[in-house]
Amino acid sequence: MNMGGPASLAEVEGYLRRLFLDPRMIPLPGGPRFRAWLAGFLARRRAPAAGRRYRQIGGRSPLGAEVRRQADRLQDRLRLPVAVAMRYSAPGAEEALAAMGAAGVERVVAVSLYPQYCRATTQSSEEDLRQANRRGIDVRFVSDHHDHPLFIRALAEMPAVALGHPLAEEGRETHVLFAAHSVPLRLVRRGDPYVSQVQRTAGLLAASACGPVPWTLAFQSRVGPVGWQGPSLEEAVRDIRQKGFRRLVIQPLTFSAENLETLYDLDILLTEKCRGLGFSEVVRVPAVGDRPAYVEALESLVREALRGWEANHV
């Protein structure tokens, strides 16, 4: 399970409308009819700007293709059918469950590809799957993997992909910026575990990969006039530059696959800002994608769920 994304510029408005319709993602006011009208209005208003951003990264979200590759690699390891269920684009939960049902599947392990649990994303996807499960398939959820050793290993391997050498070998002018999607502070105050899980991921990754290289955790993608978890990426890069660092390594922690917020927000917007601040070099570390250690982590999560299932049925 993942968020999804438009597969073409023509799909941008519909994708935004479905996102705005989700009360866990965007808490719009009013009842269902007003929410539907407001979601359509906001989608039409924001689609042109969003389309321009997608055009700069190739005219589509890469997330669908990357998740399909992850699913294919996992299927090869498990020797079990693996379907993809996107929250706001095709294939959705209904399509995924229909394919499973047609194949005679009676039990499904639903794995969230959001590494850290958040009610706005993980819980929304899980509720969507439950509502789509009209066939009564037995479903067990794997809701997060923020501190799974194989996930941390996969993250720790990625800087070398971008740098050509381990992160710990970087010089004294280098600073690491761990980037995480922000969440409204209202969620944090209500006990949502997302921020604490992101901090746990960052701490484990730093201990595994950074060595003497200093690091900072910051948050991206604030939208609207509400309070958001900080510090923001913009605040963080200004502070890092003021401390004299000239080389910046940016690594996303909360995206398991590339998407608009990595390819546009990090690679274009943030990189341009960093150059304006005087950084001599900015290196962005790729998302874990279908890295073998990450697929192995997903396999481990599924097999653990299956063992628990069997134990409960003995």
Q: What are 43-93's pLDDT values in tens digits?
A: 999 999 999 999 999 999 999 999 999 999 999 999 999 999 999 999 999
Sketch out the chain's domains with CATH numbers.
149-284 (3.40.50.1400)
Q: Is the per-residue pLDDT at 312 higher than 80? A: no
pLDDT value of residue 177: 98
Answer whether residue 207 shows pLDDT above 90: yes
Residue-level pLDDT at 23? 79
pLDDT digit string, tens, across residues 168-192: 999 899 999 999 999 888 888 999 9
Q: How confident is the model at residue 313 (pLDDT cuts 50, 70, 90)?
A: low
Pair 255, 222: CB distance under 8 Å = no
Per-residue pLDDT at 145: 97
* pLDDT at position 34: 85
What pTM, to 2 d.p., does this model score?
A: 0.93
134 is written with which tokens?
Answer: 């009209």
**Any idea which residue has 């209005």 for tokens?**
41
**SS3 state at 201:** helix
At position 234, the amino acid (one-letter code) is: E
Mean pLDDT confidence for 271-279: 95
Asked if residues 54 and 6 have their Cβ atoms less than 8 Å apart, the reply is yes
What is the token pair recorded at 27?
């808490």
Q: Where are the beta strands (DSSP E) in 190-254?
A: 215-220, 247-252
Tell me what the pLDDT averaged over the chain comes to: 93
* Rounded-to-integer distance, Cα 279 and Cα 282, Å: 7
User: Which two structure tokens, joined as six digits, stand for 153?
Assistant: 């290993």
Q: How many CB atoms lie within 10 A of CB 33?
A: 8
